[in-house]
Amino acid sequence: MTDVLIAGIGQTQVGEHWDVSIRELALYAIESAVKDAGGLRPQALYVGNMLAPALSRQSHLATLIADFAGLTGIEAYTVEAAGASGGAAFRAGYLAVLSGAVEVALVVGVEKITDQVGGSVEGAMSTTTDADYEAEHGLTTTAQAALLMQRYLYEFKPPREAFGGFPITAHANGKGNANAMFRSTVKPESYARAGMVAAPLNMFDVAPNADGAAAVILTRPGLLTERLEHSPVRISGSSVVTDTLALHDRPDPLDFRAVRASVEQACRQAGIMPSDVDFFELYDAYSIYAAMTLEAAGFAPRGEGWKVAENGGISLTGSLPLTTFGGLKARGNPGGATGVYQIVESTLQLRGQAGANQVPDAKRALVQCLGGPASTVVTHVLEGVER
C-alpha cells in the first residue's frame, strides 16, 4: 500500500452567499486548492453535497462543476451521505488514489443553503431522516437532537449549563478564523440566557446553516511537484460506518455506536489509540452531539462527555482541543461541505499554518463528520509529513 497525501487545499468563507451560484462557490475553492498543490491537474472529481437537488434545483452536480472548472472529460460524480457527504467524498477520493486507479483526485464539498429560505430549508433538511416514520410526522433534525438532549438530561442529570463549554470554545476559536460565519466570542452568561430553539436546545446549542465550498487535492508521494511550497499531510486511517437511519430502531438512542466503530477502525489502520491524537475535529451540529461523540469515541465515560469541556479541556491548549477553527457552531454548517472544511482546517493545523488558532506541536488529527444522529459516520486520521 502506498501513502495518500493531501497536496493542496482551498476554501471559501462560510456565510450567506446570496450573489454566488453553487458552481461559482465550488470553482473558487478548486482554484485555491489546485494552486496550493503546485498546479497538479486532477483526473477525477468527487463532490460532497447534501441538498443541491432540493434547494439549488441541481442534480448531476459533479459534472456541472467539472465543466465549469474546465475539467471536462474527467471522471466526476456526487457523493451524498447527509451531513457526512463531504467526508464520504473525501474517502472516495482517498480510495481512488490508494487503489492506483487515479493519480490525482480532487475532492470538493459545496452547499448553497440560501438558495431558499424558511420552511423549504427545514423540509429539505428533513429528507435526511426516515421519510416514512420520522419526516412524515413533522420531525425536524433539530427537534430530533432536542429529543436526544432531553433524554440525556433525564438519564444522566448533568447541569444544564455544562453543555455551554462546547459552543463557548467553538466561538472563541471562530474569532481567529477569517472564513468563519461568526467571529465573536460567547460568554457563559450569554449562553445561560439564550432563547430556546427546540427545548432544551438553545440558540447556542445549534449550528447555523450556511453556504460554502472547500476543496482538497489528493495524490501519491512520487507525484508531488517541485512547486509545492509546504509539507503534505498523510491519510493514515479512513473509515465509514452506518447505523440505523431512524433513532427508534436503535436499542439505545444515547449510544452513538457507529462513532465508536468508525473511530476504532480508523485508529486501527493508523496504528494508534484515539488518545494519541493531538486534536479532534468532531461534528458539533448540536452540543448534545459533541458530548455523545466524545463518549462513543472513548474520550469520556457514558453520561460524562460534557465534563471534557470543563476548565479549558477542549481549548487550543487543552488536553483535547476540539473544533479548532470554530467547528460547525462558529464556522457555520455548510451541509455536505462540512466534512471537507474539517479536512482543510486539520491540514492547516498539521502544516503549522493555523495562525492564532494553532494547536501547539500538532502532528496527528482525528477528523469526523456525521450524517444524521450518527446514522453515517466518516472518520479519518491525518498525520503531518516532513519533506
User: Tens digits of per-residue pLDDT, 233-289?
Assistant: 999 999 999 999 999 999 999 999 999 999 999 999 999 999 999 999 999 999 999
Q: Answer yes or no: is pLDDT of 310 > 90.
A: yes
- For 383, the grid coordinates are 498525520
Name the pairing type of β-strands 104-111 and 212-219: antiparallel
The DSSP letter of residue 287 is H
The DSSP letter of residue 358 is P
Confidence of residue 226 (pLDDT cuts 50, 70, 90): confident
For 53-76, what is the mean pLDDT?
Answer: 97
Cα-Cα-Cα-Cα dihedral sign, residues 280, 257, 140, 308: negative
For 2-21, what is the mean pLDDT?
Answer: 96
Which runs of E-coded beta strand occur in the chain? 5-11, 44-48, 75-79, 104-111, 196-198, 201-202, 212-219, 233-242, 279-281, 364-371, 376-384
- The C-alpha R_g of the chain, in whole angstroms, comes to 19
pLDDT, averaged across the chain? 97
3-state secondary structure of 52: helix
State what percent of residues in the chain have pLDDT above 70: 99
For 124-149, what is the mean pLDDT?
Answer: 95
Q: pLDDT tens digits, residue range 176-214?
A: 999 999 999 999 999 999 999 999 999 999 999 999 999
- For 324, the grid coordinates are 479548532
Rounded to whole angstroms, how far apart are CA atoms 246 and 240? 18
Rounded to whole angstroms, how far apart are CA atoms 108 and 48? 6
Q: Answer yes or no: is pLDDT of 342 > 70.
A: yes
pLDDT for the residue 218: 98
Rounded to whole angstroms, how far apart are CA atoms 295 and 306? 9
For 129-142, what is the mean pLDDT?
Answer: 95
Would you tell me the crossing angle of helices 85-99 and 338-351 to the nearest 10 degrees? 60
- For 16, the grid coordinates are 450567506
For 288-293, what is the mean pLDDT?
Answer: 98
Query: For residue 341, what is the enclosing H or E element?
Result: helix 338-351
State what percent of residues in the chain have pLDDT above 90: 96
For 93-117, what is the mean pLDDT?
Answer: 96
pLDDT for the residue 1: 60
pLDDT for the residue 197: 96
Q: Count CB atoms within 10 A of the CB of residue 323.
A: 29
pLDDT for the residue 286: 98
pLDDT for the residue 253: 97
Q: Which domains, from first to last, does the chain contain?
A: 5-117+210-223 (3.40.47.10), 138-207+234-384 (3.40.47.10)
Q: Answer yes or no: is pLDDT of 80 > 90.
A: yes
Q: Is 165 exposed, middle or buried (0-12, 13-18, 19+ CB in 10 A)?
A: buried
Query: Omega of the bond prior to 334 within 30 degrees of 0, cis?
Result: no
pLDDT for the residue 365: 98
Rounded to whole angstroms, how far apart are CA atoms 150 and 288? 9
Q: Count CB atoms within 10 A of the CB of residue 99.
A: 11
Q: Answer yes or no: is pLDDT of 152 > 80.
A: yes
For 316-326, what is the mean pLDDT?
Answer: 98
- For 114, the grid coordinates are 440560501
Rounded to whole angstroms, how far apart are CA atoms 164 and 187? 9
For 24-30, what is the mean pLDDT?
Answer: 98
For 292-320, what is the mean pLDDT?
Answer: 97
What values do phi and psi take at 176, rounded to 5? Answer: -95, 5
Q: Answer yes or no: is pLDDT of 372 > 90.
A: yes
Q: How far is CA 14 from the centre of its chain?
A: 13
Q: Are 246 and 372 within 8 A, CB to CB?
A: no
3-state secondary structure of 85: helix
